[in-house]
Amino acid sequence: MEPVEEAALKGPTPRGWRAWTMKKKLIMFGGILAGIIALAIGLGVGLGVGLGGGGGGEDEEGGGETTTPPTSGNYTSAKWNPTAGTTWQIELLYPLNDTSVDVDVYDIDLFDNNRSTITALQDAGRKVICYFSAGSYENWRPDKDDFKKADLGSNLDGWPGEKWINISSPSIRSIMLGRLDLAKNKSCDGIDPDNVDGYDNSNGLGLTQADSINYMNWMANEAHARNMSIGLKNAGAIIPSVINNMQWSVNEQCAEYEECDTYAAFTQKNKPVFHIEYPKGDDTNNNLSVSSSEKESACTFTGSGNFSTVIKNMDLDNWIETC
Ligand SMILES: *[C@@H]1O[C@H](CO)[C@@H](O)[C@H](O)[C@H]1NC(C)=O
Ligand SMILES: *[C@@H]1O[C@H](CO)[C@@H](O)[C@H](O)[C@H]1NC(C)=O
Ligand SMILES: *[C@@H]1O[C@H](CO)[C@@H](O)[C@H](O)[C@H]1NC(C)=O
Ligand SMILES: *[C@@H]1O[C@H](CO)[C@@H](O)[C@H](O)[C@H]1NC(C)=O
Ligand SMILES: *[C@@H]1O[C@H](CO)[C@@H](O)[C@H](O)[C@H]1NC(C)=O
Ligand SMILES: *[C@@H]1O[C@H](CO)[C@@H](O)[C@H](O)[C@H]1NC(C)=O
Ligand SMILES: *[C@@H]1O[C@H](CO)[C@@H](O)[C@H](O)[C@H]1NC(C)=O
Ligand SMILES: *[C@@H]1O[C@H](CO)[C@@H](O)[C@H](O)[C@H]1NC(C)=O
């Protein structure tokens, strides 16, 4: 089928690649900025580090200008609440065809997999998280014609066929509710909405952290109303404002970029951090094991014992190595 081909061409690379470009930017600008701020003010620069403190209280983020503190109340509870350390596999490149990985959870593409694939996993005692892009338009998805031109922003850098979208638009939210209904109809236990950190990218729509916070809390309540759980993908800066509504984090490359302490906010609440490292880099996708030093870097960091780390190829095919 054609979607497979297209997924193979367009599906996978962006995820790691997007993270990579974002991180590259963070390193280039954030690092320089942090240095300047540190020199000028002489105050603690550890923006995310403050998150780790305390014994379970709500910590505010140190220097996040636009991050609002957690709003109390208005959170809904989920039916399925996995605990920190839950094991998982993620495969987004093609319809799932290898269910032999012995893990608790499979994270697979919402559109590319049918209900039978999902219920078969569940019959085997697994939970299924369904992936879709919640913050970008993808020009090959079956609901692509529902997107209004006015809601489309900049191209995702280096990724033809994808554009940032206005996550505050009622029309976009209606499209996403259709995706949630599809996920529910396919029997997904949870959803993995990607690209919710438009604020961190040149999106052409003026998206802010506040927009993402509102979007994620809205989507969480809608997912919960459908008996589905939800996690926050990357987007470390907004964790304090959405974590009470999230059942997990999906993170790319926090070990490589030394920001796992930010995501440990989840494990400290006994929620999983489904964590991916790509030691082979952007262009190498094969079935070979990584070196022991690469594995050590991916698997060992402060608090890593509570993370759900997988080592993957950047294209998110079947290949997996665990710690
Ligand atoms: C799964 O499907 C992909 C894409 O069609 C194919 O390359 C791969 O060999 C298949 N793997 C298995 C285990 O069937
Ligand atoms: C579901 O997908 C699988 C694998 O992609 C395929 O083999 C199967 O025929 C599909 N089932 C239905 C009911 O469409
Ligand atoms: C995004 O949608 C909101 C809600 O409809 C609207 O207020 C805002 O102006 C839109 N942003 C852009 C850049 O069009
Ligand atoms: C989900 O299933 C219901 C009932 O079978 C149907 O009315 C609805 O259109 C379906 N929604 C989607 C998005 O598939
Ligand atoms: C609570 O969340 C719901 C669903 O996202 C939203 O419709 C409602 O406006 C929120 N209420 C408050 C007081 O923030
Ligand atoms: C959610 O699950 C509960 C308990 O299993 C059930 O009673 C309820 O009908 C479900 N709601 C939806 C919207 O599926
Ligand atoms: C990995 O091995 C599987 C099955 O042995 C094969 O289908 C797949 O093409 C291989 N992938 C790569 C990237 O070599
Ligand atoms: C995992 O989390 C628990 C509870 O928060 C904590 O007691 C334990 O030390 C953590 N383990 C590691 C390896 O960080």
Structure tokens at 305: 């014992």
Query: Could you identify the atom of ligand 6 that is nearest to the CA of residue 226?
Result: 13
Mean pLDDT of the region 98-102: 98
pLDDT at position 55 over 70? no
For the stretch 113-140, pLDDT in tens is 999 999 999 999 999 999 999 999 999 9
pLDDT at position 88 over 50? yes
Q: Is pLDDT larger for residue 158 or for residue 149?
A: 149
Ligand 4 pocket, residue 181 CB under 6 Å = yes
What pLDDT is attached to residue 31? 43
pLDDT grade for 160, boundaries at 50, 70 and 90: confident
Using CB atoms within 10 A of its CB, is residue 200 exposed (0-12), middle (13-18) or buried (19+)? Answer: buried
Percent with pLDDT over 90 in the chain:
76
Ligand 4 pocket, residue 76 CB under 6 Å = no
pLDDT at position 318 over 80? yes
Query: Could you identify the atom of ligand 6 that is nearest to the CA of residue 225?
Result: 13
List, in order, residues 6 or more apart from 37 with CB less than 8 Å away: 43, 45
Which of 236, 187, 189 has the alpha carbon at shortest distance from 216? Answer: 236
Strand order in the sheet with 105-109: 88-91, 105-109, 127-133, 190-194, 229-233, 248-252, 273-277, 308-312, 320-322
For the stretch 235-277, pLDDT in tens is 999 999 999 999 999 999 999 999 999 999 999 999 999 999 9
Ligand nearest to the CA of 319: 7
Determine the 3-state secondary structure of 271 from DSSP: coil
Query: Could you identify the atom of ligand 3 that is nearest to the CA of residue 170?
Result: 5
Ligand nearest to the CA of 224: 6
Which of 64, 70, 58, 122 has the alpha carbon at shortest distance from 96? Answer: 122
pLDDT at position 23 over 60? no
What pLDDT is attached to residue 73? 60
- Compute the distance from residue 195 Cα to the ligand 3 centre, in Å: 18
- Compute the distance from residue 319 Cα to the ligand 7 centre, in Å: 8
Q: Give pTM, 2 decimals.
A: 0.83
Q: Which residues line ligand 6 (CB under 6 A)?
A: 79, 226-227
Structure tokens at 236: 């470390």
The ranges assigned to domains in the chain are: 2-50+79-322
For the stretch 293-315, pLDDT in tens is 999 999 999 999 999 999 999 99
Chain mean pLDDT for the chain: 84
Q: Residue with structure tokens 């140190």? A: 62
Ligand 2 pocket, residue 77 CB under 6 Å = no
**Fold for the domain defined by 2-50+79-322:** TIM Barrel (3.20.20)
What pLDDT is attached to residue 306? 98
Going by CA atoms, what residue is nearest to atom 2 of ligand 4?
185
- Compute the distance from residue 13 Cα to the ligand 3 centre, in Å: 29
What pLDDT is attached to residue 211? 98
Ligand nearest to the CA of 273: 8
pLDDT at position 7 over 50? no
pLDDT at position 48 over 70? no
Q: Is pLDDT larger for residue 154 or for residue 38?
A: 154
